[in-house]
A and B are shown apart, each in its own frame.
Chain A
Amino acid sequence: VDLEERLRELDLRSDLDIPDVPPPTDSTPEILKRALSGLSARWKNWWIRGILSLAMISGFFLIIYLGSFMLMLLVLSIQVKCYHEIITIGYRVYHSYDLPWFRSLSWYFLLCVNYFFYGETVADYFATFVQRREQLQFLIRYHRFISFALYLTGFCMFVLSLVKKHYRLQFYMFAWTHVTLLITVTQSHLVIQNLFEGMIWFLVPISSVICNDITAYIFGFFFGRTPLIKLSPKKTWEGFIGGFFSTVIFGFIFSYFLAQHQYFVCPVEYNSETNRFVTECEPSELFQMKKYSVPPLLQAALGWETVNMYPFQMHSFALSTFASLIGPFGGFFASGFKRAFKIKDFADTIPGHGGIMDRFDCQYLMATFVHVYITSFIRGPNPSKLLKQLLILQPEQQLSVYKTLKSHLVEKGILQPSLRG
């Protein structure tokens, strides 16, 4: 047996089995190439990255303008693309592109998990829409059972597809799929949950991460001297700290502007009459100006005694801090991953930047953080979810709950005791 082939079979400690990655193909569009043909390679790269950054940011603004539904679709497409990118890397690493069934099974699991998560969230927000349609009612009521049955089918198919010579590869791909699902799909659903809370909870975190990326890069470019971490040699402490302060200031200012518009601040609701998403409400306390006394330390620096701010700006401080200090760890994780599997970029989707995952690697932790932050510090339980659960109780239970609630509301003066008739 050929030595190369034998070695390929795996001493897992060595890297001999990882194929050398072909140099990334240059997927820059022709038009850009012509425009920049005069510049040196270093500046050319800088310009390509810059142009693409602007293009992505504009695209982002456009989608925001188009509304929540388009945003949801965008998040879903990004999730599918990220999943595809990571799974493709797995195939390449394990030479397992031809494993029986595996491609179908990966997509099937993606579908199952998405079905489960969308069912959980959609059911909550579309409660009135769902109430009216009998078939949907059935799907909602037994949603967990149906999702579990679908997942089990996939699991049994996997077991039945195990082929004698490929057991280990198949298990690797199975685990790879599940970890990828855990990372990409849960994050994307948390992003959508945050979005429903109010577009500002979607925009400010994402923008903070992007801002941190860009400003850390710029600070590093101009002032970078001390390396930050061996994993990513291009990152520097100057970039890190400069990025931190810029992001915090950016977060403050950006929240200030967004907090003024109902479009961004109100929870997204589904209006059953018009069959559209609406963002209209009485802005909550978070988005009403308040006077804050400036701490004496800063008073001398700023010259003011009090300042008018939105309470949300305090929260934006926490969000920006997380984006600058912990968000980069997501980036280091992805860098380590790329080094471990000897790839330069996740894919070639975006010229100059790499794959979609390369852009979103710092966002993972952010989405979860924002979600946990909201549930812990901002809002209590979700009213629509509560309502949904109330409506599936048994009639006697509903009646007893109704009576308890009524007496509570009357006691608190929220409900006036009504007279007969």
Chain B
Amino acid sequence: LQESESESKLDGETASDSESKSEFGSSSPAPTSDDTPEVLNRALSNLSSRWKNWWVRGILTLAMITFFFIIIYLGPMVLMTIVMCVQIKCFHEIITIGYNVYHSYDLPWFRTLSWYFLLCVNYFFYGETVTDYFFTLVQREEPLRILSKYHRFISFALYLTGFCMFVLSLVKKHYRLQFYMFGWTHVTLLIVVTQSHLIIHNLFEGMIWFIVPISCVICNDIMAYMFGFFFGRTPLIKLSPKKTWEGFIGGFFSTVLFGLLLSYVMSGYRCFTCPVEFNNDTNSFTVDCEPSELFQLQEYNIPVVLQSVVGWKTVRMYPFQIHSIALSTFASLIGPFGGFFASGFKRAFKIKDFANTIPGHGGIMDRFDCQYLMATFVNVYIASFIRGPNPSKLIQQFLTLRPDQQLHIFNTLKAHLVDRGILGSLEDA
């Protein structure tokens, strides 16, 4: 039995990694079952299979986009919950692939350990963010205060427990598989969990920093697909034969335009541009503030080159729209590499899709593969170019230092301010 299994698997492997959507040979896992809902099946029963597939994908795309709008409407708390659910589902999908690849579903303890590690890492990250944003709430409640003060230690202790359990669970015949699954789990955590937490950080900066990047990636996906569908001729990369240069470039320009328009519309509303804050009195999230400079209309001179084309001398734009160009450019040029990475991964492990969750699209990971790099990019972008450190957080940290350290910092700051002329040397505030 084992020999025939390995033989048949080899047939699939020694055959050239098929790049078309055709069968992968007898060794591939069962073809994805058609779980399109009955309703759709009946409605589309008359069309040819090519158009049927197109319609199924189209309808599901619209459904997902509508769902996206609904949860935006429902507010930050719901968004955070959705991000959390997506993260768990992606983790589950990738781990399941690992089990299938290594036939390791029955390894002792391993399923429990994977979920345990997911819990630990999430606990660590949520603790770090929660402490920052819910500072006053946490300080008031005694158990929360202790949890937050020793947070890193507690998280580390939890992780260590998992590590020791892993070591104790090593079984003689399965060492290598267990190490593979351990490595697989950790890399998955690195990809999936850190991204989701960065997304939540971006969200707290202002919903516009969450919506615009994600929309740009989705738009690029759709536009590149359409341009490729209608004009596609030159293949882009051997890894994904369906991608074409026409789709890539067309997608790039459409996404930049889309980004500019979407930012223009969103910058006008406070609920999108204001940082999300937790109101201690009402115990809910509020988005209310004085819009920052980024979201106030300014006059820009159009470069001479474009003046003749567009016919205007100056244009009124939000500074944020300039940033949106950077975001859309990244989404169109580098985001697809996340997609190629996922394609390579699927080919390497001979799977067609990550899972069957969404009819016509595959698993949740299939939809989110381009988003990974985007979330990190936006977070790094914000940290580098938009906001500096949070002054109130700095003051909090300052207050926990020793007096001599406080004095040293104060004097250095004073010297710096005097140096820059911000503070007159004789000024006594």
State whether B340 touches A386 (Cβ < 8 A): no
Query: Do A399 and B423 have beta carbons less than 8 Å apart?
Result: yes
Contact with B along A185-203 (1 / 0, CB 8 A): 0000000000000000000
A33 at the interface (CB under 8 A from B): no
B429 partner, pick from A142, A339, A406, beta carbons under 8 A: A406
A9 adjacent to B14 (CB under 8 Å): yes
Docked-complex contact B6 and A7, CB < 8 angstroms = yes
In the complex, whether A329 has a CB less than 8 A from a CB of chain B is yes
Tell me which of A6, A159, A381, A409 contacts B341 (CB under 8 A). Answer: A159
A171-B408 in contact given A13-B103, A380-B400, A393-B391 (Cβ < 8 Å): no
Q: Which residues of A contact B231 (CB under 8 A)?
A: none
Whether A144 lies near B13 (C-beta < 8 A) is no
B242: Cβ under 8 A from any A Cβ: no
Whether A398 contacts B422 by the Cβ 8 Å rule is yes
Knowing A175-B183, A336-B179, A408-B399, the reply to whether A167 touches B14 (Cβ < 8 A) is no
Residue numbers in B under 8 Å from A164 (CB-CB): 16-17, 238
Q: Are B410 and A392 in contact (CB under 8 A)?
A: no
CA distance A387 to B389 in the complex (A): 11
* 8 Å CB interface, A146-203 against B: 148, 152, 155-156, 158-160, 162, 164-165, 167-168, 170-171, 175-176, 178-179, 182
Which residue of the partner chain B has the closest CB to A403? B429
Segment among A22-30, A250-258, A308-316, A364-372 that sits at the interface with chain B: A364-372
Within 70-92 of A, Cβ neighbours of B (below 8 Å) are at none
B358 within 8 A of A: no
**CB–CB B164/A326 < 8 A:** yes
- Give B384's nearest chain A residue, CB to CB: A145
A174 vs chain B, min Cβ distance (A): 9
- Interface code B328-356, partner A: CB below 8 Å = 1, 0 otherwise? 00000010010011001101110000000
**Which of B48-56, B81-89, B109-117, B374-382 lies at the binding interface?**
B374-382
CB neighbours (8 Å) of A162 from chain B are 239, 340, 344
- A373 near B167 (CB under 8 angstroms)? no
Residues of B within 8 A of A13 (CB): 102-103, 177
Contacts of A326 in B (CB 8 A): 160, 164
Task: Decide if A405 is an interface residue (CB 8 Å cutoff).
Answer: yes
Q: A167-B347, A340-B176, A405-B406 are in contact. Are A376 and B7 (CB under 8 A)?
A: no
Q: Are A395 and B420 in contact (CB under 8 A)?
A: yes
Asked if B186 lies at the interface with its beta carbon under 8 angstroms from chain A, I say: yes
> A54 CA to B86 CA in the complex, in Å?
54
Does B38 belong to the interface (CB within 8 Å)? no
The minimal Cβ–Cβ distance linking A145 to chain B, given in whole angstroms, is 4
Stretch at the interface among A37-45, A297-305, A345-353, A410-418: A410-418
Check A398–B417 contact: CB distance below 8 A: yes
Is A6 touching B400 in the complex (CB atoms < 8 A)? Answer: no
Q: What 1/0 flags go to B348-369 for Cβ under 8 Å of A? A: 1100000000000000000000
- In the complex, whether A420 has a CB less than 8 A from a CB of chain B is yes
B17 touches A167 (CB 8 A): yes
Quick one: given A145-B385, A156-B334, are A383 and B408 in contact (CB under 8 Å)?
yes
Q: Are A381 and B413 in contact (CB under 8 A)?
A: no
**Closest beta carbon of chain A to B218's beta carbon, Å:** 21
Q: Residues of A within 8 Å of B, CB-based: how many?
A: 83
- The CB with the most chain B CB atoms within 10 A, among A155, A230, A390, A408, is that of A390
* A365 CA to B417 CA, complexed, in Å: 43
A337 to B172, CA, bound (A): 12
Contact (A381, B153) CB under 8 Å given A6-B10, A329-B163: no
Contact of A340 with B175 at beta-carbon distance under 8 Å, contacts A145-B384, A383-B409, A387-B409 already known: yes
Contact: B414 with A402, CB < 8 Å? yes
In the complex, the answer to whether B398 meets A336 with C-beta atoms within 8 Å is no
**Least CB separation from A332: chain B residue:** B167
Cβ of A394 under 8 Å from chain B: yes
Residue B69 at the A interface, CB < 8 A? Answer: no
In the complex, whether B373 has a CB less than 8 A from a CB of chain A is yes
Complex interface: chain B residues within 8 A of A369 (CB): 156, 160
Counting chain A CB atoms within 10 Å of each CB, which of B101, B178, B401, B414 scores highest?
B401
Give Cα A6–Cα B10 distance, bound, in whole angstroms. Answer: 7
Which chain B residue lies CB-closest to A396? B422
Whether the pair A175, B184 counts as a contact (CB closer than 8 A) is yes
Instruction: Answer yes or no: B150 CB below 8 A from chain A CBs.
Output: yes
B40 at the interface (CB under 8 A from A): no
Q: Does A389 sit within 8 A of B, measured CB to CB?
A: yes
- Say yes or no: is A226 at the interface (Cβ < 8 Å to chain B): no
> Please, which residues of chain A bring their CB within 8 A of the CB of B178?
336, 340
Q: How far is the CB of A417 from chain B (nearest CB, A)?
A: 8
CB distance from A253 to the nearest CB of B (A): 26
B395 & A340 in contact (Cβ 8 Å cutoff): no
Q: Does A336 contact B384, Cβ atoms closer than 8 Å?
A: no
* Residue A12 CB within 8 A of the other chain: yes
Interface membership of chain A positions 242-260, coded 1 if the CB is closer than 8 angstroms to chain B and 0 otherwise: 0000000000000000000
Write 13 A-B pairs (CB below 8 A) sorted by A numbering: A1-B10, A18-B176, A155-B373, A160-B237, A229-B168, A326-B160, A336-B167, A380-B397, A381-B397, A398-B417, A400-B391, A401-B395, A408-B399
10 closest Cβ pairs, A-B complex: A340-B175, A167-B348, A376-B153, A145-B384, A168-B348, A389-B389, A340-B176, A381-B397, A11-B6, A380-B400
